[in-house]
Chains A and B, each alone.
Chain A
Amino acid sequence: MALTAASKKRLVTAALVGPAAAWLFVFLVLPFVAILVFAFGRRAPEGGYQPAFTLEQFANLGARSAAFVNTLVLAPAGTAACLLVAYPVAYYLAVKSNPKYRLLLVSLVVVPFWTSMLVRTYAWMYLLGARGIPHLLEFVGLTDVRLLNTAGAVLLGIVYGYLPLMILPIYVSLEKLDRRLLEASADLGARPVATFFGITLPLSLPGVMTGVALVMILLLGEYLIPQLLGGGKVFFIGNALVDLFLQSRNWPFGSAIAVTLVAVVVVILLVAMRVAWRVAGTRQVDLL
């Protein structure tokens, strides 16, 4: 059977796109459809799911308002803290560091990723617990310092855990920076500070936006850090979900919260892309 050129091309496209599309369909679309169906159902008497078509679960979202508020406050706060720490580091790596050691320095940022986040968070539990830093502080007379299981510990864990995700995109955008622009700025009489705020910072904003979106989206689903460093008291949406599926066995309510979370993420992503387009003055910003 002879194939026309066009159908051959279509076949090749299908062969190339097919696996990814099938993967997405089975592992992303289908589960999401299931969650969506659950969200309109009811909790069975012994727990689980009972088919129904009701908005009850969505009407009840207020019962987890504290988790939403915690997440919507701590995720941006964590992202901002990450940004404040990450920008100078990325700037140093991309602009100030000796190119000879640059690769080594960048890999130092990446290396912690080779160890499980869980193990690293446990290390912080030890450091912040009574036998860790508070024990050292006793020597300088500070007794009864409590660090573990506080909002501050959660924020620290977030900054520690997500920093590389913020550093790398900013580093990449600063690395691409055209040095001639900086020279031109200096030649025209701008002081370094003016050059930074007039040229370097605006040109690195796409990287900043990518980092912010990456960290923010992951933080919105965070579960581990609040559980381990917050002592199960600082409740995120992720913790509410685990609780609803594993303890209360209220799958429909859990699904409704999950659907709402996805909606929030989509909105944040859209807004972030808009902002990135505006500041970059182009539609060619790769966000993710």
Chain B
Amino acid sequence: MTKSYKDNLPISAEGFMQEFMRLKRGSVTRRHFLGITGLGLATAVMSRFPGALSTPAYAEDLGSQMSIATWPNYHDPQTFERFKAATGVAVEVNVFGSNEEMLAKLQAGASGWSLFVPTNYTISTYAKLGLIDELDMSKLPNFSASTENPRFTKEGQIGGKTYAVPKNWGTTGFSVNTKKIKTPLASWKDFFEVLQTEADGRGMVHDYQLTTIGSALVSLGHDFNSIKPDELAKAEELLIKVKPHLFAINSDYQPAMRATDAWITMCWTNDGAQLNHDMPELAYILGKDGGEIWTDYYGIPKDAPNKPAGYALLNYLMDPQNAVKEHIANGAPTTDSRVLALLPKEVTSNKIVYPDEASLTPLEFGAAVTLTDPSRAELMARFKSA
């Protein structure tokens, strides 16, 4: 008769969390949810008990926990579980919305991260400000320089030193619901036009200066990375004209697109692939007039509290067997030919993930100056508060 009180509860804690996560997947804004609630953090805390501490032979003491700063929907959660099983180190995941936010946290000091995922154009600034460590490549035997595409490694290297190694690359295009919007779209010029017409009240732009200002500049025929005052003024004029027609200014657009609250949005490769996979009417389009190509890297902050674990996780992620699972889960293309060889055909033949070289030609990498340029930051803030 020693029945636990738990048997009488209408739903178990696990059952509730499962239901909750299922509901959340389609309808709740994940980025904000994880960011504001620290749910990622909470999950990590719940799973912190390192089991039997069956740590395999590691030269250094890795401790029992570390923290990584990264982007939403960007990892296979199983990766961290397996890493914990292999090393006894629980990984706490901090989710961010923009590189500017990451920089702000690092500048404020003691971020607590032992590994983080900055985008190509930020790394030189991090190195200049002394916020990031030069990587000790001897601790990363799984990294293979010879199989990496140099197009995607070069911004991690500054003055012959390697500060960051690539995670994956991608593009910034737009996702459009072709059941709702019939106008054929092929450029950023089309994108901004349709926002004010057929997609009135249904379009989204990122809450991120690089892509929102950059794409507005491209649609006007200017350089994605321009910081010329007259060109920025034109872009601001366009954005402020478009603003009353927008559904939202938000970098987490998946829930709104899935619920068909929004019909068109600026979009990154990995989200574009995930959306299109689940809802084929959500097409992913690259601007033929230009736009962004990017690479996300792994780096170790200077003030990282647990560098041994940071290196261990980074090395673990560089193992092609692990990287391939990551890339299948997040949907962004790989920079490493070893990983490419392991990916299933349906991934490598997906035109969203691996577009034709011709459609990549007009795209540009973000420029370092846009990260710290006050006029772009202020433009974005004026647009949002207009």
Flag if A247 contacts B104 (CB, 8 Å): yes
A248 to B98, CA, bound (A): 11
Flag if B104 contacts A249 (CB, 8 Å): yes
Distance of B288 from chain A, by nearest CB (Å):
29
CB nearest to A60 among chain B residues: B378
Flag if B261 contacts A148 (CB, 8 Å): yes
**Given the known A-B contacts A46-B372, A235-B385, are A249 and B260 also in contact in the complex, defined by CB atoms under 8 Å?**
no
Distance of B126 from chain A, by nearest CB (Å):
10
Distance of B119 from chain A, by nearest CB (Å):
15
A17 to B234, CA, bound (A): 59
A243 to B384, CA, bound (A): 9
Flag if B243 contacts A116 (CB, 8 Å): no
Interface residue? B28 (CB, 8 A) = yes
List chain B residues, Cβ under 8 A from A247. 98, 100-101, 104, 209, 377, 380-381
List chain A residues, Cβ under 8 A from B259. 129-131
**Given the known A-B contacts A148-B261, A240-B381, A244-B381, are A249 and B207 also in contact in the complex, defined by CB atoms under 8 Å?**
no
Flag if B27 contacts A250 (CB, 8 Å): no
What 0/1 readout, one digit per residue, does chain A (19-54) give for beta carbons within 8 Å of chain B?
000000000000000000000000101111000000
Number of B residues near A (Cβ < 8 Å) is 40
Flag if A240 contacts B261 (CB, 8 Å): no
Number of A residues near B (Cβ < 8 Å) is 38
**Given the known A-B contacts A122-B28, A231-B248, are A45 and B372 also in contact in the complex, defined by CB atoms under 8 Å?**
yes
List chain B residues, Cβ under 8 A from A125. 27-29
A76 to B201, CA, bound (A): 27
CB nearest to B24 among chain A residues: A122
Interface centre among A45, A146, A228 (most CB of B within 10 A): A228
A154 to B103, CA, bound (A): 30
CB nearest to B105 among chain A residues: A246
**Given the known A-B contacts A122-B29, A233-B243, are A66 and B385 also in contact in the complex, defined by CB atoms under 8 Å?**
yes
A232 to B29, CA, bound (A): 13
Segment of B32-40, B53-61, B146-154, B276-284 in the binding face: B32-40
Flag if B386 contacts A66 (CB, 8 Å): yes
Flag if B249 contacts A248 (CB, 8 Å): no
Flag if A249 contacts B100 (CB, 8 Å): yes
What 0/1 readout, one digit per residue, does chain A (223-253) give for beta carbons within 8 Å of chain B?
0100110011101000110011111111000
Flag if A232 contacts B249 (CB, 8 Å): yes
Interface residue? A67 (CB, 8 A) = yes
A129 to B246, CA, bound (A): 15
Flag if A63 contacts B382 (CB, 8 Å): yes
Interface residue? A204 (CB, 8 A) = no
A240 to B29, CA, bound (A): 21
What 0/1 readout, one digit per residue, does chain B (261-293) give for beta carbons within 8 Å of chain A?
100000000000000000000000000000000
Flag if A246 contacts B374 (CB, 8 Å): no
Interface residue? B47 (CB, 8 A) = no
Interface residue? B94 (CB, 8 A) = no
Taking beta carbons and an 8 Å cutoff, which residues of B are in contact with A? 27-29, 32-33, 36-37, 98, 100-101, 103-104, 107, 125, 128-129, 201, 207, 209, 243, 246-250, 255-256, 259-261, 372, 374, 377-378, 380-382, 384-386
5 contacting pairs across A/B (C-beta < 8 A) = A45-B372, A46-B128, A66-B386, A129-B259, A243-B385
Give me 13 other A-B pairs in contact (C-beta within 8 A), A47-B103, A125-B29, A249-B104 excluded.
Answer: A46-B129, A122-B29, A122-B33, A131-B259, A227-B32, A231-B248, A231-B249, A232-B250, A239-B385, A243-B381, A245-B104, A247-B104, A250-B378
